[in-house]
Structure 1
Amino acid sequence: MTSNTSGTKQRPQFELRWGGLHLTIQRVPAWLVTLLTTAAGTGAGAAWWTGR
């Protein structure tokens, strides 16, 4: 694991504050990126196929 030696706190890659919900993502995992791109590609392919 990499440590931050400068003493400053690293900003999160994604932060969502919505009412009482506070979601913070420090690092996006590779499996999540793969899942989202696969789902988007499948949806685009299905839309193209049904629109033919």
Structure 2
Amino acid sequence: MEAQTDHRPALELRCGGMHLTVQRIPGWLVALATAFGGAAGAWWTQR
């Protein structure tokens, strides 16, 4: 018998009639966002 667990979505957006649910955020997307944020931060501080 499987144990019942409560699975919550990683991201849930509701805007009017639109409802977007993301169950799992991929690791490559987190790495890409982190790299982009670091590059943007370095560019901003060098201005």
TM-score, length of structure 2 as denominator length = 0.79
Query: Larger RCO: Structure 1 or Structure 2 (Cα < 8 Å, ≥ 6 residues apart)?
Result: 2
Unaligned runs of 5+ in 1: none
Alignment of 1:8-47 (within 5 A): 8-47=5-44
In the alignment of these two chains, the number of paired residues is 46
Unaligned runs of 5+ in 2: none
Give the Å deviation of 1:8: 4.4
Task: Percent identity, please.
Answer: 43
Equivalent position amino acid for 1:40 in 2 = G
TM-score, length of structure 1 as denominator length = 0.73
* 1:6 is aligned to 2:36: no
Considering only aligned residues, what root-mean-square deviation do their CA atoms show, in Å? 1.4
